[in-house]
């Protein structure tokens, strides 16, 4: 037994948010979200979620591994933002990217409800898709 084992036992693991006994939004092993998190915790979550988005992209669309880093980054960014299942609904955009028709793919990205929701992000990513350079 050590402090980590003891805390795991005593706090219990909850993978979805819940309201604890004093009204705080909590997750994991008693992590209070109501008061916020530290920057290093946010960075860790960002890194983990980005890696997971990249793995899901590779698993569902293996051809994306052949893209340049910046264009693949567009798709990882989109998967991170909306989830891989929502990205897979961008059938026309993905087909155009696979064909190497990046200008039309960028146009299709901007025609989506997602683009309306994320605004400037969609415009930056469409420029990145067109150019193949990080924006």
Task: Give the model confidence (pLDDT) of 87-109 as tens digits.
Answer: 999 999 999 999 999 999 999 99
Give this prediction's pTM. Answer: 0.90
User: In terms of Cα–Cα distance, which of 109, 112, 50 is closest to 84?
Assistant: 50
Residues 79/56, Cβ–Cβ less than 8 Å: yes
User: In terms of Cα–Cα distance, which of 67, 46, 114 is closest to 86?
Assistant: 114
Residue 118 has what pLDDT? Answer: 97
The mean pLDDT value of the chain amounts to 97
Sheet holding 14-19, edge to edge: 14-19, 25-28, 31-32
Residue 48 has what pLDDT? Answer: 97
- Report DSSP letters for 51-73, one per residue: HHHHHHHHHH-GGGGGS-HHHHH
Residue 32 has what pLDDT? Answer: 94
pLDDT > 90: percent of the chain: 100
73-82, pLDDT tens digit by residue? 999 999 999 9
Domains of the chain, with CATH numbers?
3-32 (no CATH), 63-131 (1.10.530.40)
Residue 47 has what pLDDT? Answer: 97
What tokens does 25 get? 């939004």
DSSP state of 29: T
């Amino acid at each position: 037994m050590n402090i980590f084992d003891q805390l795991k036992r005593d706090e219990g693991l909850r993978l979805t948010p819940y309201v604890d006994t004093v009204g705080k939004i909590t997750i994991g092993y008693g992590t209070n979200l109501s008061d916020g998190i530290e920057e290093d915790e946010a960075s860790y979550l960002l890194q983990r979620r980005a890696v997971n988005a990249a793995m899901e992209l590779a698993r569902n669309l293996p051809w994306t591994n052949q893209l340049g880093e910046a264009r693949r980054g567009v798709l990882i960014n989109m998967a991170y933002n909306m989830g891989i299942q929502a990205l897979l609904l961008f059938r026309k955009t993905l087909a155009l990217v696979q064909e190497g028709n990046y200008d039309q793919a960028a146009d299709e990205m901007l025609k989506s409800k997602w683009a309306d929701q994320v605004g400037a992000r969609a415009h930056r990513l469409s420029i990145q898709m067109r150019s193949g350079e990080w924006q």
